[in-house]
Structure 1
Amino acid sequence: MTSLINIDKKNNNQTISRHIYGHFAEHLGRCIYEGIWVGEESPIPNTRGIRNDVVEALKKINIPNLRWPGGCFADEYHWKDGIGPREDRPTIVNTNWGKVTENNHFGTHEFMDLCEQLETEPYICGNVGSGTVQEMQEWIEYLTFDGESPMTKLRRKNGRDKPWKLKYFGIGNENWGCGGKMRVEYYADKYRNYQTYVKDLSGNEIYKIACGPQEADYHWMEVMMREGMDRTEPDKDAIIENIWDYHRPEMNGISLHYYTRNRANYSSATDFDETLWFDYMKRTMKIEEIIENHTAIMDKYDPNKEVGVIIDEWGTWFKVEPGTNPGFLYQQNTLRDAIIASINLNIFNNHCDRVHMANIAQVVNVLQAMILTEGEKMILTPSYHVFEMYKVHQDATLLPTNVSSPFYTHEDDQLPMINVSASQDQSGQINISICNIHPNQSDEIILNLEGITKDSKVIGRVLTAEKINAHNTFETPNNVEPAKFDDFKLAQNKLTVNMPSKSVLVLQIK
């Protein structure tokens, strides 16, 4: 089998935002408690209660932003419960995830401390479903205002003198579902109301993110793009060149949620056959069509592409591991998850003109996690390794690709075998990420790229394994990890690569 990839170095006017490589930490299962927060008295090494090993691992993948506190949890979370002396904070019931009680020891100060330790941008999701406008307004004031006010006095009383910088703020989460079961027409008005009070204070500028659609709900997107922006009439003496001059956005981004899952038949994360492998590859690739259809709607109202698609929940969703709480969504993570992560990231990269941010669900111990913990033990998943390999694309310039790929045929269906994205960083280095979804067939890939010579320097790393369900465990933590790759030949303007089956490959060319 042979694939042909042509890489265009001339039409390079788009930047792959590093925020496409964002993450998500919800109060769900063992993500926050045990996964991130162990408390200052824990024997597990920590800094002010936050696990050192988790922070160190996440810094290695250049985590650009972290979404918190949810998810469904966000629209039942009242932020004032999570500030002040920890012994005085009220215990709450997490009604969405396992009906467990939480002591609120991880709140606003702890989250912002985590982001400072990670050197990452906080992305906070506010409560529209059960919260008030005043509650949201006061949270913004508490976080970002540097003057004298009741909220700044409260913040200083709780040990933080200067405000934090907060760029990303979501006005509600899944308000079509767990965030209130609202009709989009109702939410659009709620959004306009709530976002009015999410103000820029003390030089802090907030990027406002509206609750967008679930998967292919194009009606939701249509209404939000039509109604979710300012309709203020322009000055009669002003010269209006086009509709966008006066229909200014009241939202900078709109979310989109898409999980790779089979709702009719949740299956095991580790016990599956080729039929399920193919099924999940097909479901993953569906997101490209969904992005393109939503983009077409957005282009009618926002031709300059100023409003970003924020895919702040994506990833695989399988049955929980046997013997674990069904409400904790704890699942293993295999080579299949790594291939799915690669497909998604390639698609997001290639649509970076509209996709401004994405957040895989979730960072530790939940769904398609980067990290799994068990007491003091920690392991990195195959998905973590994809993010580490792909970090070369962060803030690099997209290089458009044209791919001619053989098909992977299974039973009576088929999919393109090869999936690609490419970029060029500020130093001139070319980065090419490729995944081969075929579980049994290798592929000869011919890369045409102007400027390659026999003296070019190529560094390759590959992630693969013998079995499709290979994964890392606490007993064998390095079962699936990247390895050096040098099965390629250089020629003038051409690189020929022999790519293994079921693999993710990143090439760096200087």
Structure 2
Amino acid sequence: MKATLLLIGVSLTTTLFGQNTLSLQTDAANITIEKEIYGHFSEHLGTCIYEGIYVGEDSEIPNIDGYRKDVVEALKALKVPVLRWPGGCFADTYHWKDGIGPKDERPSIVNVFWGGVTEDNSFGTHEFLNFCELIDAEPYLSINVGSGTVQEARDWVEYVTSNNQSPMTDLRKKNGREEPWKVKFWGIGNENWGCGGDMAADYYANIFRNYSSYIKGADFQKVICGPAGNDVAWTETILSGLKNKTALAQGLSLHYYTLPTGDWDSKGSSTDFGEDMWFRTLRNTLYIEDYIQQHLAIMDQYDPDRTMKLMVDEWGTWYDQLPGTQDGFLQQQNTLRDALVAGMNLNIFNNYAERIRMANIAQIVNVLQSVIRTNGPQMVRTPTYYVFQLYNVHQDAMLIPTELTTENYEYKGEAIPALSASASIKDDVISISITNANPHKAISVSCTPGREFTAVSGKIVNGDAITDYNDFGMEERVLIKDFEIEKTSNQELEVEIPAHSVVLLQLQVR
């Protein structure tokens, strides 16, 4: 019994019987996996910015100009390619001039979306852009459309990027930055169908046209506020409203969060779960592929030359907050389950590299599916961190089209593909990432790389139990370890992928 699904970068066949195989069309590798697919998202939410990234120069926590030294070093090792800021919902309440100049003169505001806490604006435009330079990441700025103005947006662009003499550049220099920053990614609003102004799609389409006409730069990548999940009506209305004007935008955003229950009021625990929630989480993660296909089909209709790319600039797991944590701070634990979610999503994004320009996991520190968690002076790398580190070999590599035949992982009458995979080549090294969703069973797969290879090595992210996580003051349970592979010939491999694991194979080719 077989079902075949043809995708842009991969052909997937699921089978109840027969051999699991992965065939690589290495000679057909001609699409770059943009490094920004491995991007991140930071918002003024909970302890993502304050405590997570920024503690101030007077903090007893070791820091570099106020940025946590341990976090800086961890993010540099992760090779973070792009970082989105200041939100999220916070972006459409944020007025950038509140966050520049002497810190003791900056006005405070109330963060109405996330916990009702006071925001003192000590982390603003300079602090964010300097942080991006420190960790060698491209900045991605979200413009306030919900409560801002076109003039405010235009002034921000000039303040940040202009080298001309003007009131805005004079102000930047007065505030200590002589040379402009290089910022090419600009989001025109965020979730304007919801927290960004509760706008109708046709209204936002006109707003985008208005703002975009003033956001000018030779290499700017301007991003339309796109849909959540499978809201194809939003995409259709926006793009039809931009008919013959699609050149104003280089990207369309997509937001999709994996909820185990599918219920925003009761999303499920991040730590206390069994196989039922394991299966439902991984099943719900895979929905994103169908949503990507739906939105790309509409994009092709209005942009047949495919000049506009998809930006999945918010994705990840979303569970109930950890007991005892502050409301609105969205703190959750990060287990082996999240590692599988990350690996499966990243395989999908890789395989759609022709159309996906960027993706940003939510969020980088302490919030939702973070790669780092902090607690006072302590810091831990989460299972998701190690998956990103495992996969960073794909950044700016050439996508290898693949054909995967996989058995199903079945649970209570439902089934999903047990394996997911993606592959790339760079500097005569083939990198193959494979996930095994089955929590009970190791799965053997025959791999044909399409080129002769002289050496093979492997790495794995795994744990003893599906609920394993890394926590403060304890030895890491989920991390990268060497994965031994027996080389069977110069043209094929037989590899056993352990239960609930994420594996990277690397082959040196002739």
Structure 1 and Structure 2 fold alike (TM over 0.5): yes
Q: Which moved more, 1:335-344 or 1:486-495?
A: 486-495
Residue type of the alignment partner of 2:47: R
**Distance in 2, Cα, partners of 1:252 & 1:142:** 22
Question: 1:410 is matched with which residue?
Answer: 411
Q: Which moved more, 1:110-119 or 1:292-301?
A: 292-301
Question: In the TM superposition, what are the counterparts of 1:28-427 in structure 2 within 5 Å?
Answer: 28-200=45-217, 205-228=219-242, 231=244, 249-261=247-259, 262-264=261-263, 265-425=266-426, 427=427
Q: Which moved more, 1:113-122 or 1:4-13?
A: 4-13
Question: 1:236 is matched with which residue?
Answer: none
Question: 1:440 is matched with which residue?
Answer: 440
- Conserved 8 A contact 1:305-1:353: no
Identity of aligned residues (%): 49
Cα deviation for residue 197 of structure 1 reads: 1.0
Question: 2:12 is matched with which residue?
Answer: none
Residue type of the alignment partner of 1:319: D
Cα deviation for residue 343 of structure 1 reads: 0.3
**Distance in 1, Cα, partners of 2:486 & 2:325:** 44
- Conserved 8 A contact 1:91-1:103: yes
Cα deviation for residue 51 of structure 1 reads: 0.8
- Conserved 8 A contact 1:84-1:158: yes
Cα offsets for 1:212-249 (capped at 9, x unmatched): 011101111112222235x4xxxxxxxxxxxxxxx551
**Distance in 2, Cα, partners of 1:469 & 1:475:** 18
Question: 1:458 is matched with which residue?
Answer: 456
- Where do 5+ consecutive residues of structure 2 fail to align? 1-17
Cα offsets for 1:293-335 (capped at 9, x unmatched): 1111111122222101000000000011110012000111000
Question: 1:470 is matched with which residue?
Answer: 468
Q: Which moved more, 1:471-480 or 1:285-294?
A: 471-480
Q: Which moved more, 1:427-436 or 1:468-477?
A: 468-477
TM-aligned CA distance change 1:220 to 1:501, over 3 Å: same
Q: Aligned Cα RMSD in Å?
A: 1.1
Partner secondary structure for residue 326 of structure 1: coil
- Conserved 8 A contact 2:100-2:106: yes
**Distance in 2, Cα, partners of 1:439 & 1:248:** 45
- Conserved 8 A contact 1:166-1:205: no
Partner secondary structure for residue 305 of structure 2: coil
**Distance in 2, Cα, partners of 1:10 & 1:163:** 42
Partner secondary structure for residue 327 of structure 1: coil
Residue type of the alignment partner of 2:422: S
Question: 1:485 is matched with which residue?
Answer: 483
Partner secondary structure for residue 20 of structure 2: strand
Cα deviation for residue 74 of structure 1 reads: 0.1
Cα deviation for residue 338 of structure 1 reads: 0.2
Partner secondary structure for residue 146 of structure 1: coil
Could you state the TM-score of these two structures normalised by the residue count of structure 1? 0.94
Question: 1:239 is matched with which residue?
Answer: none
**Distance in 2, Cα, partners of 1:284 & 1:297:** 22
Partner secondary structure for residue 489 of structure 1: coil
**Distance in 1, Cα, partners of 2:475 & 2:249:** 43
- Conserved 8 A contact 1:228-1:251: no
**Distance in 2, Cα, partners of 1:473 & 1:52:** 19
**Distance in 2, Cα, partners of 1:362 & 1:477:** 24
**Distance in 2, Cα, partners of 1:59 & 1:24:** 15
Residue type of the alignment partner of 2:382: T
Question: 1:498 is matched with which residue?
Answer: 496
Cα offsets for 1:152-180 (capped at 9, x unmatched): 11111111111111110100000000000
Cα deviation for residue 263 of structure 1 reads: 4.2
Residue type of the alignment partner of 1:269: S
- Conserved 8 A contact 1:488-1:498: no
Query: What is the number of residues matched between the two proteins?
Result: 488
TM-aligned CA distance change 1:310 to 1:477, over 3 Å: farther
- In the alignment, does 2:35 pair up with 1:18? yes
Q: Which runs of 4+ in 1 moved over 3 A?
A: none
**Distance in 1, Cα, partners of 2:476 & 2:50:** 25
- Conserved 8 A contact 1:24-1:361: yes
Cα offsets for 1:399-434 (capped at 9, x unmatched): 011111011110110011000000001x11100000
Residue type of the alignment partner of 2:233: H
Cα offsets for 1:131-159 (capped at 9, x unmatched): 00000000001001111111111111111
- In the alignment, does 2:506 pair up with 1:508? yes
**Distance in 2, Cα, partners of 1:207 & 1:301:** 18
- Conserved 8 A contact 1:20-1:348: yes
**Distance in 2, Cα, partners of 1:451 & 1:47:** 46
**Distance in 1, Cα, partners of 2:359 & 2:269:** 25
Q: Which moved more, 1:95-104 or 1:489-498?
A: 489-498
Partner secondary structure for residue 164 of structure 2: coil
Q: Which moved more, 1:474-483 or 1:94-103?
A: 474-483
- Conserved 8 A contact 2:27-2:450: no
Partner secondary structure for residue 247 of structure 2: coil
Partner secondary structure for residue 55 of structure 2: coil
